[in-house]
Amino acid sequence: MTFYLKDDAPISVGHSVASAMATCKTEKAEFIVLTEKERLECDVYDVENYGTRFVSFFNECVNAFAGLTRLHLQNLRFAKSDFVSNILVTCKKLNYLGFLNCDTEDWITLQVEHAQLRELSIVNCRFDMVKLAWVPKLTCLAFESWVSFRKPPLSFGHVPLLEVLRLSNVALNWHKMVKLSTFLHETSVRDLRLGFKFETNCGTICM
């Protein structure tokens, strides 16, 4: 289900979905939550405003979120640093989770622990570090266009089924070299897709 984060429409949708989940056996449920402005049109006020709206929607419709199997969010800034973790805790059935241009007011370390998650997409987001601590069913990860001083701000814990990894970013002069053989040594990635653009001719990726 795709809808815009506007007025009271999302809450109405959430209540309807929660009612359907309570009366019917629902195997799949998806929210694609859009914003009125596209990513490149959003300023700080916009993402903060959208973030506040989404938190209200989430808190009003926890039962609906608890039954989702797919969730895609965009252009959100959360005032509370632990809210992203709350999404993971509440949405226990998620198979897919996507963030586009999302962050918190304070740069945080996002620790991901989720029993069912199979696909995770984090694109153009601002987190100090993303730690995949325990995601036993994760098979596909897209980590693209991060904003951080780390190289890249991503670490792997228990991800035994991870096979597909997409990494892309603009590599700047002050970014440190990423040695893929070290970075990926505890994973079983078979399909690695790199999309790096370089500020100079000196690459920041090596095997």
Helix (H) / strand (E) containing 45: helix 44-60
Measured in whole angstroms, how far is the alpha carbon of residue 84 from the centre of its chain? 9
Residue 122 has pLDDT above 90, yes or no: yes
Q: Which one has a higher pLDDT value, 206 or 52?
A: 52
Residue 174 has pLDDT above 60, yes or no: no
Mean pLDDT (whole number) for 171-196: 79
Reported in sequence order, the residue ranges of 11-104 that DSSP labels E, i.e. its strands, are: 30-34, 70-78, 96-104
Q: What is the mean pLDDT of residues 176-186?
A: 77
Amino acid at 170: V
Q: Work out the number of other CB atoms within 10 angstroms of the CB of residue 197.
A: 9
CA distance 147 to 171: 11
Q: How confident is the model at residue 207 (pLDDT cuts 50, 70, 90)?
A: low
Phi-psi bin for 199: left (phi > 0), alpha (psi -120 to 50), beta? alpha
Query: Any idea what DSSP says for residue 69?
Result: S
Would you say 3 and 9 are in contact if contact means Cβ atoms under 8 Å apart? yes
CA distance 98 to 119: 8
pLDDT digits (tens, 9 = 90+) for 71-88: 999 999 999 888 999 999
* Percent of the chain residues topping a pLDDT of 90: 68
Nearest residue to 124 via CA among 100, 151, 150: 100
pLDDT in tens, 130-161: 999 999 999 999 999 876 655 678 999 999 99
Does the reported pTM lie above 0.95? no
List CB contacts of 101: < 8 A, sequence separation 6 or more: 39, 42, 47, 74, 75, 76, 123, 124, 125
